Amino acid sequence: MVPDGSGSRDVIEAATEEVMGSVPEASPADVDRAVAAARHALPAWSQTPVPERAGLLSALGAAMAARADEIATLVAREVGTPENLSVLIHVGLPTLTLAHAAELVADFPFEVEEPPSLVVREPVGVVAAVTPWNYPLHQAVAKVAPALAAGCTVVLKPSEVAPLSAFVLAELAEEVGLPAGVLNLVTGAGPVGEALVSHAEVDMVSFTGSTGAGRRVGEVAARTVKRVALELGGKSANVVLDDAPLDQAVPDGVAKCFLNAGQTCSALTRLLVPRAALSEVEDRAAEAAATYVPGDPFAAGTTIGPLASFEQRERVRAAILQALEEGARLVVGGPEPPEGLDRGYFVRPTIFSEVRPDSALARQEVFGPVLAILAYDSEEEAVALANDSDYGLAGGVWSADPERALAVARRLRTGQVEINGAMFNPRAPFGGYKQSGNGRELGVAGLEEYLETKAIQR
């Protein structure tokens, strides 16, 4: 449908600072129309047979895979991720998520006999999906796929920083035959999201973003007692135990911090190491950081791209300056732009050591390629340091003894823990403890977020 509002917002390419497109600034009337379309489509879609819903999700994933290179290029320009990684992550993950949602819903027990009752799982209704800019297509699909699989209809509001892949998603949905009104798209900044979250005809809000913004979403949604799922910030600890192979643990730890230029909510940004190994860890970390070459996402040899926006670059530089003021010791990097990269939102890959547990760098999310190394003297202290955070989104444990690592992983108050560098599993539930949010995305738990439970007594 044609937007009612006349405003628009430019989309800026991260590496060039040039306008690469523009999107409408939705008006309150646009939000009303999108929600009304979702509400109108809900009865028919919720009653659509599960195999048909699953088939459309599979088709959507296949259509996305067919345009992988085009989408990867688009997101690389918006966000700054090197093109080769953009294909693997920004397109590969959402493609897998669509395929997995189709598999899950095909076997899900929507009705279970619990005599004398019949317990029925039904779609929660109209879902407002508000998504961030760091993994724009993946985060959109992580909400849209299970919501549609469950029988819900969706109004998607992507971040104004990186909204263009959401238009490709909507285009593909229409191409594969998703019925009108099942997936709706509105674009714009915070007021558009607030209008959507507060809308009386929205049954559920699924939000990914900063913890501060998540608090606001929770407050606004509570006025109409909506269901709310929040995936928020993190300051995740990577615990390297005293028997860990440092030649593997440290480079992997740097990689898990610097992925997507550090613009990852689950990034392992605190590296906790035995005090006796601190010097060796610093040397190995510096060696690993030297392999991250900032540059144009499309240039050969680039291994880390720019940040997504001017505002984010300035926030990261401010965090680096604050860490210096608070006495952390700079191992590599710093607040100056990388040499020869005066245009684009670039920052130097940066590592600090001797970071105090009470400092801002140890406690606040930076959302850039900035690693904090903290030393500990015992395993008990390491666990206490890892858990000494307002957040609890992810974590890591390294040990030569997998059972020892598992025992420590069980003690970490966080939603995901990887052992000895294990990779992200898009089929596993993802979400946080404490101020990292509530609810889960992906896997069976992610599907269940979009279902209500009804008991029919007979």
Average pLDDT over residues 239-243: 98
Average pLDDT over residues 182-210: 97
Residue 347 three-state SS: coil
Q: Which pLDDT score is estimated for 7?
A: 87
Domain ranges of the chain: 8-232+436-457, 237-429
Kindly tell me if the per-residue pLDDT of 429 is higher than 70: yes
Structure-block tokens of residue 298 = 């499309």
Angle (CA) 169 157 344, round 5°? 80
**Percent of the chain topping pLDDT 90:** 98
Count CB atoms within 10 A of the CB of residue 103.
14
Report, at the CATH architecture level, how domain 8-232+436-457 is classified: 3-Layer(aba) Sandwich (3.40)
Buried b (16+ CB within 10 A) or exposed e, 297-319: beeeebebbbbbbeebbebbbeb
pLDDT in tens, 24-41: 999 999 999 999 999 999
Identify each DSSP E strand in 158-279 by its residue range.
183-185, 204-208, 227-231, 237-240, 270-274
Dihedral sign computed on CA atoms, order 50, 205, 65, 265: negative
Record the pTM: 0.96
CA 260 to CA 258: how far, in whole Å?
6
Q: Which pLDDT score is estimated for 1?
A: 60
Q: CB-based burial of residue 168 (10 Å sphere; 0-12 exposed, 13-18 middle, 19+ buried)? A: middle
Mind telling me the catalytic residues? 231, 265
Question: What value does the mean pLDDT of the chain take?
Answer: 97
Structure-block tokens of residue 453 = 């439970």
Q: Which pLDDT score is estimated for 232?
A: 97
Kindly tell me if the per-residue pLDDT of 3 is higher than 90: no
455: confidence class by pLDDT, cuts 50, 70, 90: very high
Kindly tell me if the per-residue pLDDT of 316 is higher than 90: yes
pLDDT in tens, 87-139: 999 999 999 999 999 999 999 999 999 999 999 999 999 999 999 999 999 99
How many CA atoms does the CB half-sphere of 102 hold within 13 Å? Answer: 18
Question: What is residue 91's DSSP assignment?
Answer: I
Average pLDDT over residues 415-444: 97
CATH 3.40.309.10 fits domain 237-429: yes
Q: Which pLDDT score is estimated for 5?
A: 61
CA 81 to CA 72: how far, in whole Å?
9
CA 91 to CA 66: how far, in whole Å?
10
Kindly tell me if the per-residue pLDDT of 195 is higher than 80: yes
Average pLDDT over residues 152-160: 98
Strands 451-457 and 117-123: antiparallel
pLDDT in tens, 206-230: 999 999 999 999 999 999 999 999 9
Classify residue 340 as left (phi > 0), alpha (psi -120 to 50) or beta: left
Q: Measuring CA to CA, how many Å separate 429 from each of 106, 260, 394, 440?
A: 18, 21, 12, 6
**Percent of the chain topping pLDDT 70:** 99
Residue 300 three-state SS: coil
Average pLDDT over residues 257-261: 98
Kindly tell me if the per-residue pLDDT of 331 is higher than 70: yes
Nearest to 290 by CA among 263, 314, 317, 258: 258
Are 8-232+436-457 and 237-429 the same fold in CATH?
Answer: no
Nearest to 344 by CA among 299, 301, 300: 299
CA 413 to CA 417: how far, in whole Å?
9
2: confidence class by pLDDT, cuts 50, 70, 90: low
Angle (CA) 80 86 87, round 5°? 155
Q: Which pLDDT score is estimated for 212?
A: 94
Q: Which residues pair with 305 in a beta bridge?
A: none
